[in-house]
Amino acid sequence: MIFATRNNKILQELFRNIRRDQGEYVLKGQAVENQRALWDKTLEFRFLLQMSFSNSNRLPQETIRYAFCNSGEVVNEAYSDLIDSTKKTLDSVA
């Protein structure tokens, strides 16, 4: 009889601990879901930026760009518009 009473007390203590820790497990699960969502968004954002950076790397470098933009006013204006558009895009992302 003493053994059964002791086992019941141990079981009751275990169930109390499980109920108490259940809230912590729920919070941990929600934190993991939030981290996963943040990771997914970060990865998606990186892919979007990668396309922009790849395209920008194909633009003429400084010495060639200078000669290219000085070849005509239309080219210089288009290049300036491109730079302004890129700055606006980066500002909207940040």
pLDDT of residue 3: 54
94: pLDDT strictly greater than 70: no
Residue 2: its pLDDT value, please? 53
What pLDDT was estimated at residue 30? Answer: 92
Sign of torsion over alpha carbons 34, 37, 39, 42: negative
Q: What is the pTM of this model?
A: 0.47
What does the buried/exposed string (b/e) look like for 30-67 if buried means 16 or more CB atoms within 10 Å of the residue's CB? eeeeeeeeeeeeeeeeeeeeeeeeeeeeeeeeeeeeee
Q: Look at residue 80 in the predicted model and tell me its pLDDT.
A: 84
Per residue, what are the HEC states of 7-36? HHHHHHHHHHHHHHHHHHHHHHHHHHHHHH
1-32 pLDDT per residue, tens: 455 677 777 778 877 777 776 778 788 889 99
Model pLDDT, residue 92:
79
Report how far residue 74's alpha carbon sits from residue 12's, in angstroms, rounded to the nearest whole number.
Answer: 82
pLDDT digits (tens, 9 = 90+) for 46-89: 888 888 788 777 777 777 777 777 778 888 888 888 888 888 88
> What is the C-alpha to C-alpha distance for residues 16 and 71, in angstroms, rounded to an integer?
80
